Structure 1
């Protein structure tokens, strides 16, 4: 039976529930390391799929942890989820992991929630707009802790920026949303579930979100590979995209 939750309210609710489950799995103390990461991926995915199917039975779901039903490609509404973004960070006891619940409508990231449970935080597209503080000096670009892309380093050098290493894609994107960083730049290795919900939340917060060539982010593609991403303060978008173009030449 469905409830009267809005799409954004549902995304927030499911992200919070999955985050609480992941915290509970950690607290059990019965497994650790890779086994705990695998259990977290599996159990959170089951919860998310069950909740979304119960609340939105006519919608399709694309999850990192489930088999891909390609009939979704003809659907208008597709939930794109990552039950545990940052499995390594979760398994290592760090706090920069996240739960992504995104909804693409006609390929556009319209609705989303990103929970960062270890920081007791959740960000969603129904949050009020945030007042922007001045950008950091120097510019702060958040990048992957384990595999920062070379292009980010080159852009950082060109713009005199500081690189801020962090774990999951959701945690990095939300660092821009809450003002702890000015930009998140990634090139290589992501899929739609890595960035759909973060992009939806970032756009709703008034940030710029695009591919690194400035083209729009498009979701529910046959191939879910979506390897590059720029999320940044809107006033920085033009200069970062210019630096990216120069770095690729």
Structure 2
């Protein structure tokens, strides 16, 4: 039997409560010399806070929705998720390096996908007590206020969130004249596009689903077009849970970015 759309809001309420709980755990470790390990294969650092948050989220969320699958950066993947109608897609701390360095712009990124599409999403920045949320078809909010993307129409002088390697000449037909910005959390970058503080974000390297699932819905519900770097829609809960890059911007600017890329 199909799951009725009316419970999107209850799923968002669950994610929001879980995000606040995650923030309480993470803040106990923040700027308090958390233990740090380095993942094999140069996959980046992980802290005791990441692992504690991951354990809490997995236990809390799957207890509330035992029929949902689970995909998290800090949990060994279980292909059983592929057989579920809905799946939690979670990054316990998005921006772990920022967290270790004592910066403020790390986040908790929580989403629920249904048959490839994200239907509920929450991104929470505990240090700033800032919450972004969205449900499919109902708009996106920042601390309860509806958001809308920038309406900039062209790339020239656009403010774009991207790492420096993305702006190297080999990626572009003609290198655009933009103002480049950076934030360590991909989820937060997508939320900043959603609220119109920046005109676009892009990454041309593979992006893990847990980094982008929540931000994809939040940006899209604020009016952005969100695709992979080739312009294809991003499907979630894939066997290989990574997207071929991400571009998020209002539809006209998104088209301009795609046209400028090689």
Q: What band does the TM-score fall into relative to the shorter chain?
A: 0.7 to 0.9
Compared CA separation, residues 156 and 11, structure 1 to 2 (3 A)? farther
Does the CA contact (< 8 Å) of 1:82 and 1:101 recur in 2?
Answer: yes
Identify the residue that residue 93 of structure 1 maps to in structure 2.
102
1:124-183 C-alpha deviation (Å, 9 max, x unpaired): 005353245554972011013xx6424688559643211102211112112212222110
Whole-angstrom CA distance in 1 between matches of 2:170 and 2:187: 20
TM-score by length of 2: 0.82
Whole-angstrom CA distance in 1 between matches of 2:158 and 2:46: 33
Compared CA separation, residues 231 and 133, structure 1 to 2 (3 A)? closer
Q: Which runs of 5+ in 2 are unaligned?
A: 1-6, 38-44, 136-140
1:187-236 C-alpha deviation (Å, 9 max, x unpaired): 11421111111101111222111111111001111111224001112331
Verify: 1:180 aligned to 2:202, yes or no: no
Whole-angstrom CA distance in 2 between matches of 1:227 and 1:188: 7
Identify the residue that residue 50 of structure 1 maps to in structure 2.
59
Whole-angstrom CA distance in 2 between matches of 1:150 and 1:175: 19
Does the CA contact (< 8 Å) of 1:104 and 1:110 recur in 2?
Answer: yes
Mapping for residues 1-249 of structure 1, pairs under 5 Å: 6-26=10-30, 29=32, 31-32=33-34, 34=36, 37-126=46-135, 127=141, 129-131=146-148, 135=152, 138-144=157-163, 148-150=165-167, 158-244=175-261, 248=262
Q: Secondary structure at the match of 2:157?
A: coil
Whole-angstrom CA distance in 2 between matches of 1:210 and 1:88: 26
Compared CA separation, residues 218 and 73, structure 1 to 2 (3 A)? same
In the TM superposition, what is the alpha-carbon distance from 1:40 to its structure 2 partner? 1.2
Does the CA contact (< 8 Å) of 1:33 and 1:92 recur in 2?
Answer: no
TM-score by length of 1: 0.86
Q: Which runs of 5+ in 1 are unaligned?
A: none
Structure (1 or 2) with the greater helix fraction: 1
Q: Matched residue pairs, number?
A: 238
Whole-angstrom CA distance in 2 between matches of 1:83 and 1:232: 25
Whole-angstrom CA distance in 2 between matches of 1:134 and 1:60: 37
Q: Secondary structure at the match of 1:62?
A: strand
In the TM superposition, what is the alpha-carbon distance from 1:37 to its structure 2 partner? 5.0
Does the CA contact (< 8 Å) of 1:139 and 1:159 recur in 2?
Answer: no
1:30-88 C-alpha deviation (Å, 9 max, x unpaired): x2473695111101101111111121111111111111110111221011100011110
